Amino acid sequence: MTNYQIDCLQYANWSENIFKEMREGGLDAVHVTIAYHETFRETVLNMEQWNRWFEQFPSLIFQGTTGADVRLAKETNRTAIFFGFQNPSPIEDDIGLVQILHQLGARFMQLTYNNQSLLATGCYESYDAGLTRMGREVVKEMNRVGMVVDMSHSGEKSTLDAIEYSERPIAITHANPHNWHQALRNKSDTVMRELSNSGGMLGFSIYPHHLKGGTSCTIDSFCQMISDTANIMGIDNIGIGTDLCQNQPDSIVEWMRVGRWTKGIDYGEGTASNAGFPPMPTWYKDNRDFSNIANGLHKTGMTETEISKVMGNNWLNFYDNNFGAIK
């Protein structure tokens, strides 16, 4: 059996050096965020920039749209790059843009970031009304074309609604169990069980605000959490979504949190005294450390087959089944 390595969420300050580190880390595929609060046109401009990188560094990266592209990346010693959005802003208020963006290569879209959107409720809102009327229609359209519903930043009811309403499995690409660390972004046992029962995927995040102990979280604690979550969700429905924001300036985390929705400053998971990006744990500084996770999982007693599933094979199976249009 071939083993694949997939990180299902990053938002780095992209460069040739980072693309080289992806190769050194053996990553066959990475799902990259190309929109937080961008409009459709602004998202297309971000795609243009990625096209330039694909042209400049063809021996390192190329655009992926199917599971077959992950296999091609492995065969050619490159990394397949998959596009996704952390907010539905690229579709604006036009359901027709779902198919257009899928045709341009988008494969994941969050129904919310932290706030209420036209589609659902973010995890920072005090009241979660669940999927909106437009949200239900957009989920149906995403199902039809093969764009994955991502609920990483959504509230509990909205997430459960999406799991129930979607005719195809959804994903939570980057979050951790709330029972391990009580962050607003982390997910309840109820959500994890329903996600698993529906065939969905959870990607474990290494962003320090999602970790027990923050930057000081140990690799042993992180990997034991993964092993424990396998007991809740099963081994076939979990993977990695590091949420690596390598080399990003603090102005970017402000854009992520504030966008254009407020004139003030929202610190999100940070504080006024710690407003910027938190330092990553010592055991995960960049893509070259991806194998540290596998080594840590081995210490928990996981088998080689189980570790391979977590490190990428589960995501590949999910890509195979969910990126194509419904026939």
Domain boundaries, the chain: 6-322
Q: Provide φ and ψ at 80, rounded to 5°.
A: -85, 130
Q: Average of pLDDT values for 190-219? A: 97
Res 240: pLDDT:
98
Q: Average of pLDDT values for 181-205? A: 97
Q: Average of pLDDT values for 83-105? A: 98
Helix (H, G, I), strand (E, B) or coil at 280: coil
For residue 116, pLDDT over 60 is answered with yes
CB contact at 8 A, 178 and 187:
yes
Q: Which residue has the higher pLDDT, 87 or 277?
A: 87
Structure token pair of residue 310? 């977590």
For residue 275, pLDDT over 60 is answered with no
Q: Average of pLDDT values for 100-124? A: 96
Res 151: pLDDT:
98
Strands (E), the chain: 6-10, 29-35, 61-63, 79-85, 106-110, 148-150, 171-172, 201-204, 238-240
For residue 276, pLDDT over 80 is answered with no
Q: Average of pLDDT values for 11-24? A: 97
Place of tokens 């050619």: 76
Helix (H, G, I), strand (E, B) or coil at 127: coil
Q: Average of pLDDT values for 32-40? A: 95
Res 45: pLDDT:
98
Inter-CA distances, 66 with 140, 250, 273, 318, Å: 20, 33, 43, 10
Confidence at 229, pLDDT banded by 50, 70, 90:
very high
Compute the distance between CA of residue 54 and CA of residue 61 in angstroms, rounded to an integer.
6
Compute the distance between CA of residue 193 and CA of residue 189 in angstroms, rounded to an integer.
6
CB contact at 8 A, 205 and 244:
no
Q: Average of pLDDT values for 63-78? A: 98
Place of tokens 């539905």: 88
Q: What is the pLDDT of residues 280-309, one digit of tens each?
A: 999 999 999 999 999 999 999 999 999 999
Torsional sign, CA 121, 183, 263, 276: negative
Compute the distance between CA of residue 89 and CA of residue 252 in angstroms, rounded to an integer.
17
CB contact at 8 A, 288 and 5:
no
Residues in the chain: 327
pTM, rounded to two decimals: 0.96
Residue 237 is given by DSSP the state G
Domain 6-322 architecture: Alpha-Beta Barrel (3.20)
Q: For the chain, give the mean pLDDT.
A: 94
Confidence at 269, pLDDT banded by 50, 70, 90:
confident
For residue 46, pLDDT over 70 is answered with yes
For residue 255, pLDDT over 90 is answered with no
Q: Which residues contact 72 (CB under 8 A, 6 or more apart)?
A: 78, 80
CB contact at 8 A, 220 and 193:
no
Compute the distance between CA of residue 112 and CA of residue 224 in angstroms, rounded to an integer.
29
CB contact at 8 A, 8 and 271:
no
